C-alpha cells in the first residue's frame, strides 16, 4: 500500500469516523463494569478512553512503540488514578461492547475494526501478564517502606525514651547520633552545638565517623552548610556535596560523603545546634527531611533536659566545693595541707592530669609552690618564668583556657613536672584577694579540648575560696617564721656564747699543753683531742649559721645545693657543676636534710683537702637516691679511713651514719693524685603524692 493509500485508510478507520460515539459508549460500559470509573471525573475518564482509542488507531500503522508507551501508561495509571488491575482490565475489555454499541454492523465487522479488536485483546493479555510482577514489586516496595517507617518510628521512640529516662549529657548525645544513623541508614551522624558566641558549631558527638580526631572541632556558622541550617532554622539537603558546595558553604564531612541532610536542633524557637546525617550511596528526599526534623526536635528536648540537670548538679557541686574548701580554711593554717586539699577538690570535678599553684612574691617574682604531675609531687620552684597566658589571666583577673595547638610559643614553655609527656589543654584561674592578685591555680590535661565553660566557672569558684585560705595561711606562716627566727637566733647566740666559746678555750689550752710536751708520749692524745675540739667547733659554727640561715626552709633542695655551690666557688675560686633532673620529686624533709648535709660536708672537706680542685655534684633518682660529689684534687689513701678520727676524717663517719639511718650506705673512692669521689645511696621512700 502506498503512503497516500495508507493515509486514506487511516482516515477511513471506523474509530476515526465514529470516535465520539465509540467514546460515549465506552464511558457507559466503564460505568457499568466498575464503580472506580463512576468516582472518576468525566473529563479524566474521557481523556483515558481517548488514549486507548489513539493507541488502537496508531496500531493500524504497525507502530510497536505506540503499544509500549500505552502499556507504560497503564502501569502508571495504577498510581496516578488509584486504579486496581481488575478495574483496568474490565475497563479495557469493555471496549468490545463499546464497539458493538457505537458502530453500525458494517463498520463493526470491517477488517480495520477486527484488527483493532485483536490489538485490544493482545494489549489486555500483555498487561495482564505483567500485572502480577507489577503488583508484587509494588507490594515489596510498600513492605520495605513500612519496614523503614517502623524502624524510624522505633528510633523516634528510643529518642523519646532518652528524653524522659536519661539526664546524662554525654550518654544522651551519643544516643542521639547512634539512633540518627540508624534512622536514615546513614553512614555517619554528627551532632554540633553552638558555642557561647553563636558563631561556631562544635562537634560534640558522632556515630560511624572514621576520624575520631575531629571531636571538638569547630565549623563556622557563616561558611558551612551546617551553619546555613543553623541560621535558617530549616533542614538543608545536599545530594551532591562536591558539586553543590560553593565557596560560601564548606562541608565539614568525610571525603567519601556524597549526600548529606542537616536538621536544626531547636528549643523554644531558637537553634542550639545541628544534626547532620551523611551517606555515600543514594540521596535524601523531602520526606527524609521531615522525619529527621521530628527526630531533631525530640533530640533538642533531650539535650536541653540533660543540660538543665547538669547545670543543677553543677550548682550543687559548686556549693559542696565551697563548703569543703571553706572547711579547710577554718580548720587548717598549714599551707601544704591547703594545697593538697585544693588539688583534691579540683580532681573531683574536672580533668587534672597535672596541677600547679603559683604565688606572686612581694618582689614581683612568681614561685611554683605546688607541682603535681600524674599523681607525683615535685619539688617547688622559685622565680619561675611563666607562659604569657598565665600573666594575662592574672592581669585581666579572668580564668583562661589555653590549647597547646593554638599557643604560638607552646614549644618554648618551661616544663615543671614529668618530662616524658606534654600537656595539651590548660585551664588557668587567678587567685584574687581584694584588690590584689596573689597568684593562680592551673588544671592541665594531656588530651586536647578537655575544658569547657562550666569548668571555667568551677575553677574560678575554687580559686576565690582558695585565695582566702592561702592568704590566711601565708600570714600565719610569716608570723610563725618571725617567732621561729627569733628563737633560732637566741639558740645561735647561746651556742656561740657558750659551747663555741668553750671549745675555743679548750683548743687554746690543748695547743698550750701540746707546745710543752714535745717528746712526751701524751702528744698523740693531745693532738687527737685537739682535732676533735676543732672539728666540733666547726660543727658548732655551722649549726649557728644553719639556725640563722635555715637553708631548706624557704628553698627547694636544688636551690639550697646551688647556694652551697655558689658559696664554695666564691670561697675557693674553683668551678662547681651540678647534674640533677630538671624536676626533682618532692622528698620527705629528713631526706632533703640528709642530702643537703652530705653535700655541705663534702664541700667543706674539699676546701680543707682539695682547695684548688673543681667539684661536680650529681643526683640521680630511680628506685633509690644516689648523690655523688667528686673532685679532681690530690686524693688520699682510703686505708687511713679506719683511723679517721686520728686523721681528721671524722666527718665521713657522720655522713655514713646519716645514710645508714635511711637504710642506705656511703662509699668513698680515692687514690693519691686521682681525686676523690664520695657517694651516698639510700632507698627512695614513697614520695608525697596527690593520692
% of the chain exceeding 70 in pLDDT: 82
Residue 70 vs residue 341, higher pLDDT = 341
CB 204 within 8 A of CB 297: no
Task: Please choose, from the candidates 440, 468, 416, the residue with its C-alpha nearest in 3D space to the C-alpha of residue 583.
Answer: 416
> What does the alpha-carbon distance between residue 70 and residue 352 come to, in Å, rounded to a whole number?
76
> What mean pLDDT is reported for the chain?
79
Cα 25 to Cα 91, 106, 236, distances in angstroms: 12, 17, 53
Domains 166-313 and 332-462 share a fold: yes
Average pLDDT of the segment spanning 509-513? 75
Q: Which range, of 132-146, 363-377, 555-569, 594-608, averages the lowest pLDDT?
A: 132-146
Give the whole-angstrom CA distance, residue 541 versus residue 485: 17
User: pLDDT-based confidence at 438, cuts 50/70/90?
Assistant: very high
Quote the pLDDT of residue 56: 83
Higher-pLDDT residue of 106, 608: 106
CB–CB of 15/53 below 8 Å? yes
Interval 383-392 mean pLDDT: 89
Q: What is the pLDDT of residues 285-296, one digit of tens each?
A: 888 888 888 888
pLDDT digits (tens, 9 = 90+) for 346-368: 888 888 999 999 999 888 899 99
14-23, 280-289, 326-335 — which one is most confidently predicted on average?
Answer: 14-23
449-465 pLDDT tens trace: 889 888 888 899 889 88
Q: What is the pLDDT of residues 661-680, one digit of tens each?
A: 888 999 998 888 888 999 99
User: Pseudo-torsion of CA 479, 480, 482, 488, nearest 10°?
Assistant: 180
In this predicted structure, the answer to whether residue 389 has a pLDDT above a threshold of 80 is yes
- 3-141: what fold? Globin-like (1.10.490)
Its pTM surpasses 0.75:
no
- 432 has a pLDDT exceeding 90: yes
Residue-level pLDDT at 245: 46
CB 346 within 8 A of CB 316: no
The CATH architecture that domain 552-691 belongs to is: 2-Layer Sandwich (3.30)
Instruction: Note whether 75 and 81 are within 8 A (CB).
Output: no
pLDDT of the residue at 247: 38
Domains of the chain by residue range? 3-141, 166-313, 332-462, 552-691
pLDDT level of residue 213 (50, 70, 90 thresholds): very low
- CA dist list (Å): 632 to 566, 652, 670: 18, 18, 10
Is the model more confident about 145 or about 584? Answer: 584
Mean pLDDT of 612-635: 90
pLDDT score of 689 more than 50: no
Chain segment 103-131, per-residue pLDDT in tens = 898 888 888 888 888 888 888 888 887 77
Gap between the Cα atoms of 509 and 514, Å rounded: 9
Q: How far is CA 584 from CA 209, 578, 581, 619, in A?
A: 43, 13, 6, 9
Q: Quick one: how many helices (H) and strands (E) in the chain? A: 21, 17
For domain 332-462, give its CATH number from 3.30.450.40, 3.40.710.10, 3.40.50.300, 1.20.120.450. Answer: 3.30.450.40
* Grid cell 552548610 in the structure block, residue: 225
Separation of CA 188 from chain center: 20
Q: Return the half-sphere exposure (C-beta side, CA atoms, 13 A cut-off) of residue 195.
A: 14
pLDDT range class, residue 489, cuts 50, 70, 90: low
Mean pLDDT computed over 538-560: 66
Looking at CATH, the fold of the domain delimited by 166-313 is given as Beta-Lactamase (3.30.450)
CB under 8 Å to 193, separation ≥6 — which residues? 201, 202, 204, 265, 272, 273, 303
pLDDT tens for 237-252 read 988 765 544 434 455 5
Residues facing residue 354 across a β-bridge: 373, 444
Amino acid at each position: 500500500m502506498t503512503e497516500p493509500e495508507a493515509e486514506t485508510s487511516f482516515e477511513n478507520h471506523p474509530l476515526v469516523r465514529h470516535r465520539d460515539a465509540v467514546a460515549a459508549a465506552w464511558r457507559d460500559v466503564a460505568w457499568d463494569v466498575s464503580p472506580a470509573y463512576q468516582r472518576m471525573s468525566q473529563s479524566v475518564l474521557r481523556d483515558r478512553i481517548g488514549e486507548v482509542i489513539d493507541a488502537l488507531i496508531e496500531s493500524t500503522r504497525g507502530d510497536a512503540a505506540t503499544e509500549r508507551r500505552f502499556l507504560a501508561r497503564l502501569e502508571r495509571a495504577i498510581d496516578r488514578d488509584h486504579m486496581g488491575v481488575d478495574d483496568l482490565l474490565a475497563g479495557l475489555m469493555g471496549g468490545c461492547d463499546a464497539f458493538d454499541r457505537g458502530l453500525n454492523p458494517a463498520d463493526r465487522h470491517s477488517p480495520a475494526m477486527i484488527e483493532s479488536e485483536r490489538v485490544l485483546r493482545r494489549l489486555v493479555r500483555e498487561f495482564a501478564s505483567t500485572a502480577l510482577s507489577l503488583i508484587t514489586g509494588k507490594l515489596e516496595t510498600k513492605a520495605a517502606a513500612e519496614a523503614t517507617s517502623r524502624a524510624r518510628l522505633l528510633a523516634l521512640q528510643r529518642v523519646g525514651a532518652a528524653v524522659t529516662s536519661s539526664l546524662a549529657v554525654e550518654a544522651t548525645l551519643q544516643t542521639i547520633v547512634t539512633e540518627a544513623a540508624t534512622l536514615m541508614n546513614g553512614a555517619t551522624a554528627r551532632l554540633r552545638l553552638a558555642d557561647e558566641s553563636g558563631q561556631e558549631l562544635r562537634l560534640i558527638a558522632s556515630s560511624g565517623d572514621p576520624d575520631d580526631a575531629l571531636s571538638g572541632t569547630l565549623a563556622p556558622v557563616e561558611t558551612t552548610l551546617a551553619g546555613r541550617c543553623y541560621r535558617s532554622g530549616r533542614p538543608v539537603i545536599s545530594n551532591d556535596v562536591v558539586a553543590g558546595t560553593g565557596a560560601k558553604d564548606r562541608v565539614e564531612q568525610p571525603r567519601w560523603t556524597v549526600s548529606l541532610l542537616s536538621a536544626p536542633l531547636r528549643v523554644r524557637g531558637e537553634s542550639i545546634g545541628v544534626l547532620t546525617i551523611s551517606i555515600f550511596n543514594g540521596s535524601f528526599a523531602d520526606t527524609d527531611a521531615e522525619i529527621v526534623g521530628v527526630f531533631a526536635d525530640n533530640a533538642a528536648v533531650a539535650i536541653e533536659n540533660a543540660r538543665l540537670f547538669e547545670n543543677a548538679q553543677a550548682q550543687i557541686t559548686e556549693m559542696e566545693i565551697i563548703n569543703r574548701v571553706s572547711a579547710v580554711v577554718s580548720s587548717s593554717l598549714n599551707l601544704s595541707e591547703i594545697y593538697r586539699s585544693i588539688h583534691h577538690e579540683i580532681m573531683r570535678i574536672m580533668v587534672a592530669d597535672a596541677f600547679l599553684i603559683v604565688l606572686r612574691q612581694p618582689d614581683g617574682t612568681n614561685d611554683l609552690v605546688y607541682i603535681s604531675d600524674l599523681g607525683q609531687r615535685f619539688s617547688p620552684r622559685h622565680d619561675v618564668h611563666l607562659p604569657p597566658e598565665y600573666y594575662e589571666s592574672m592581669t585581666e583577673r579572668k580564668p583562661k583556657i589555653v590549647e597547646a595547638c593554638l599557643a604560638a610559643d607552646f614549644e618554648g614553655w618551661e616544663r615543671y613536672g614529668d618530662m616524658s609527656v606534654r600537656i595539651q589543654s590548660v585551664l588557668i584561674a587567678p587567685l584574687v584577694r581584694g584588690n590584689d592578685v596573689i597568684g593562680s591555680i592551673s588544671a592541665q590535661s594531656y588530651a586536647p579540648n578537655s575544658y569547657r565553660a562550666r569548668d571555667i566557672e568551677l575553677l574560678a569558684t575554687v580559686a576565690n575560696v582558695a585565695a582566702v585560705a592561702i592568704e590566711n595561711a601565708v600570714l600565719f606562716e610569716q608570723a610563725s617564721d618571725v617567732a621561729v627566727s627569733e628563737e633560732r637566733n637566741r639558740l645561735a647566740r647561746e651556742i656561740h656564747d657558750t659551747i663555741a666559746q668553750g671549745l675555743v678555750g679548750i683548743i687554746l689550752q690543748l695547743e698550750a699543753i701540746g707546745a710543752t710536751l714535745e717528746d712526751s708520749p701524751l702528744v698523740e692524745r693531745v693532738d687527737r683531742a685537739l682535732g676533735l675540739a676543732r672539728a666540733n667547733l666547726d660543727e658548732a659554727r655551722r649549726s649557728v649559721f644553719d639556725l640563722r640561715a635555715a637553708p631548706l626552709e624557704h628553698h627547694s633542695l636544688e636551690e639550697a645545693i646551688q647556694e652551697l655551690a655558689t658559696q664554695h666557688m666564691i670561697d675557693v675560686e674553683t668551678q662547681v657543676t651540678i647534674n640533677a633532673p630538671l624536676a626533682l620529686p618532692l622528698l620527705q624533709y629528713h631526706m632533703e636534710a640528709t642530702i643537703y648535709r652530705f653535700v655541705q660536708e663534702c664541700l667543706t672537706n674539699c676546701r680543707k683537702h682539695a682547695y684548688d680542685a673543681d667539684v661536680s655534684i650529681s643526683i640521680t633518682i630511680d628506685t633509690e637516691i644516689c648523690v655523688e660529689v667528686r673532685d679532681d684534687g690530690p686524693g688520699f689513701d682510703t686505708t687511713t679511713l679506719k683511723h679517721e678520727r686520728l686523721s681528721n676524717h671524722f666527718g665521713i663517719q657522720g655522713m655514713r651514719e646519716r645514710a645508714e639511718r635511711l637504710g642506705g650506705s656511703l662509699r668513698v673512692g680515692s687514690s693519691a693524685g686521682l681525686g676523690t669521689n664520695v657517694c651516698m645511696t639510700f632507698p627512695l621512700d614513697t614520695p608525697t603524692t596527690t593520692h
